[in-house]
Copies of this chain bind each other. A is one copy, B any other.
Amino acid sequence: MRRTSRDIRTANRYEVLRQVVAASPTSRQELAAATGLSLATVATLVGELLELGMITEVGFEDSAGGRPRGLVAVNAPGGALIGVDLAETYVRVELFDLALNVLARADEGVRPGENRPEQVVGRVATAVGSVVAQAGIEGARVLGVGVSMPGQVDRDTGVCAYAPNWDWHDVPLLDLLTEHIAYPLHLDNPLRACAVAELWFGAARGCGDAVVVNLGTGVGAGLVLGGGVHRGVSNSAGEWGHTTLVLDGRPCHCGNHGCVEAYTGAPGIMLTLRELSPASPLLHPGDQTATIDALARGVSAGDPVAVRVLEDTARCLGAGIADLVNLLNPEVVVLSSWVAAAFGEPLLDAVREAVARHALRRPLAATRIVLSPVPTDPVCLGAATFALEGALRPAGRRDGARGPRTGSRAPAPGR
């Protein structure tokens, strides 16, 4: 887990490209000021990024009295990145240019009973083929495919150790995908995908320490610490959803009682509604999305049951987030994923209030709590960013994709 010279070089490449993405066009001098790196280091890194085709020279700007400064910008058409979001009931695939604009999208449904690994992998391969065809690009320009798989994923071996949604155990997902997809593959989970999306393109940009709270069917926390994504020693950090919030409380599918997820995941919110008002018209049994949407509309309309459900949910979330604020002292806490997006501002306001009641004064004063500003599916965007990060890793590391700590594979880079 020590940072080698190569790790540092990779982190610096990320930092400089992230800054170019944030403010194109820009000069080496501005990049040095924004990143804290020396001008000499920035010049070297810019040279490497130019050579990789990630950025491009776009002219000069006058500097007051001095020599004109060379400007660089993201080379948007220089390559394509593909992000795959494997959710419970669908497979979504998006194709991006290097400025992370969406060029094509494909959705494939996953019906109950059709979630065996071979079936899901087939859907992914179809959707990947579809977005490449839609975008009308040569396959050789695809730099990589990032795949977000909910559950416990071993990036090193590409094995999905456990996926509660589909009851997968020890599925060699990367091996299966490699049989159908000839681009470099990068596997991780949605917590990491959302964290990386916020770090590169969202509310965590430029932050040393940030927490991205994922509110969906499952609940977790993607952690950005020390300017990078925190994965933990076996890539399973962020399982905040199974923090005990209520000793001997509601049973959770993990086997424990009183977990955060049992109250704040979509099924937990549905249960709160059912307990409060068993015959509520807001309740769509078996349909999480419809129920959450109905609740969100109910809150806007001032429906007292919906408001009460929101308040109870925010109370639990706020207590749990306050604990994260006290423990990690982050600059920003981002509420992400579809449940957060559905409830929006009313949830944010109620969570802020609950956190303020529970957190200690000093870390509370240093933390902003915001909704994710990422306009597209953050999981697809983050997964595509895995592929971007993979393409930025110095050679020798990327080739060792079978080896430890990369979790990615480059069978036929075609570049």
Q: Which residues of A contact B (CB under 8 A)?
A: 1-5, 8, 11, 15, 35-38, 41, 152, 161-162, 206-209, 221, 223, 225-228, 230-240, 242-247, 249, 254, 256, 319-320, 322-324, 326-331, 358, 360-363, 365-367
Contact present for A236 and B362 (CB under 8 Å): yes
Most buried by B among A3, A8, A207: A3
Majority secondary structure of chain A interface residues (helix, strand, loop or mixed): loop
Contact present for A236 and B363 (CB under 8 Å): yes
CB-CB under 8 A from A1, the residues of chain B are 207-209, 226-227, 331
Contact present for A328 and B228 (CB under 8 Å): no
Partner of A366, one of B208, B226, B232, B328: B232
Contact present for A4 and B37 (CB under 8 Å): yes
Among residues of B, the one whose C-beta sits closest to the C-beta of A225 is B225
User: Assuming A225-B225, A329-B237, is B230 touching A360 (CB within 8 A)?
Assistant: no
Specify how many copies of this chain sit in the oligomer: 2
Among residues of B, the one whose C-beta sits closest to the C-beta of A11 is B3
8 contacts between A and B (CB under 8 A): A162-B362, A221-B327, A226-B226, A232-B366, A233-B367, A239-B326, A244-B245, A246-B247
CB-CB under 8 A from A244, the residues of chain B are 245, 319-320, 322-323, 358
Q: How far is the CA of A362 from the CA of B231 in the complex (A)?
A: 13
Contact present for A240 and B326 (CB under 8 Å): yes
Contact present for A226 and B234 (CB under 8 Å): no
Q: How far is the CA of A36 from the CA of B230 in the complex (A)?
A: 20
Partner of A234, one of B4, B233, B246, B329: B329
Contact present for B227 and A161 (CB under 8 Å): no
Q: How far is the CA of A104 from the CA of B180 in the complex (A)?
A: 68
* 8 nearest CB pairs, A to B: A1-B208, A232-B329, A237-B329, A239-B326, A234-B366, A4-B36, A243-B323, A236-B362
Contact present for A209 and B227 (CB under 8 Å): no
Give A249 Cβ to nearest chain B Cβ, in Å. Answer: 8
Contact present for A2 and B233 (CB under 8 Å): no
Contact present for B225 and A365 (CB under 8 Å): no
Give A248 Cβ to nearest chain B Cβ, in Å. Answer: 9
Q: How far is the CA of A401 from the CA of B349 in the complex (A)?
A: 40
Q: How far is the CA of A246 from the CA of B258 in the complex (A)?
A: 10
Contact present for A247 and B319 (CB under 8 Å): yes
Q: How far is the CA of A231 from the CA of B327 in the complex (A)?
A: 10
Q: How far is the CA of A225 from the CA of B208 in the complex (A)?
A: 13
Q: How far is the CA of A237 from the CA of B362 in the complex (A)?
A: 10
Among residues of B, the one whose C-beta sits closest to the C-beta of A237 is B329
Among residues of B, the one whose C-beta sits closest to the C-beta of A228 is B226
CB-CB under 8 A from A2, the residues of chain B are 15, 35-36, 206, 208, 227
Contact present for A358 and B37 (CB under 8 Å): no
Among residues of B, the one whose C-beta sits closest to the C-beta of A36 is B4
